[in-house]
Amino acid sequence: EIVLTQSPGTLSLSPGERATLSCRASQSISSSYLAWYQQKPGQAPRLLFYDASSRATGTPDRFSGSGSGTDFTLTISRLEPEDFAVYYCQQYGSTLFTFGPGTKVDIK
Amino acid sequence: EVQLVESGGGLVQPGGSLRVSCAASGFIFRDYSMKWVRQGPGKGLEWVSYISSSSSTIYYADSVKGRFTISRDNAKNSLYLQMNSLRVEDTAVYYCAVGPEYCSGGNCYWGYYYSMDVWGQGTTVTVSS
């Protein structure tokens, strides 16, 4: 089973600041089959990126995804009020589609 | 409108059984793989199970293997999760979601470039005595 570790657990920032979220895998993820999801309270998750860096429909340009192998990053260049949420990475390159524990981005 | 609607959640005693369903509309259900993901109260997301479009490939998380059974009825555009031997730790909101495989004309393609990301609103399962 591929274990995903996300850091930090919580990121306290102000609107307009840059956010950098990390996702590290216990082993290399096949074909960079890694997704990033955003989840707000009471809502289902929303796909932001797939294949590590491919932007899903509707994902704003201020978001970017990068990485390969075991190290992946989600960057929000300038935080907007609607970006404060929990972010999860998930791999779908093996037969067990594991999620990371999540990073909460909250308002400082 | 592409839509998934879960149903069948409720309160069940430890050791009991429950079947949750997911009704799909607005897309060609038989062309897409499906999955179940759950979220315990105040917890993160946990992938539960996956089924391919033809039901030929099925995967389970270790935490539910041997207790849960995923199935689908393409004629009814429906996905199911039969949950047996339920435990307190199975308490969660259960979401059905599309992907990541898309099949068309006998060819199948892995990944969200070909598939789509659609989630239901979730159904709540509570396991408690």
Which of A50, A51, A101 is nearest residue B44 as measured by Cβ atoms? Answer: A101
User: Would you call B43 helix, strand, or coil by DSSP?
Assistant: coil
- Residue B125 vs residues A4, A28, B38: alpha-carbon distances, Å: 26, 34, 10
Closest CA to B20 of B48, B1, B42: B48
Choosing among A30, A50, A94, which should be mutated to test the B contact, i.e. which has the most B CBs within 10 A?
Answer: A50
**pLDDT exceeds 90 at position B59:** yes
Share of chain B above pLDDT 70, in %: 100
How many CB atoms lie under 10 A from the CB of residue A61?
A: 7
**pLDDT band for position A39 (50/70/90)?**
very high
- Chain A residues in contact with B97 (beta carbon < 8 A): 44
Name which of B47, B117, B120 is nearest A56 (Cβ-Cβ).
B117
| Residue % of chain A over a pLDDT of 70 | 100
CA distance A97 to chain B (A): 6
CA distance B49 to chain A (A): 8
A47 chain-B contacts, CB cut-off 8 A: 112, 117
Under DSSP, is residue A66 helix (H, G, I), strand (E, B) or coil?
strand
Q: Do B45 and A45 touch (CB under 8 A)?
A: yes
Beta strand B32-39 pairing with B92-104: antiparallel
What is the C-alpha to C-alpha distance for residues A82 and A76, in angstroms, rounded to an integer?
Answer: 12
pLDDT for A31 beyond 90: no
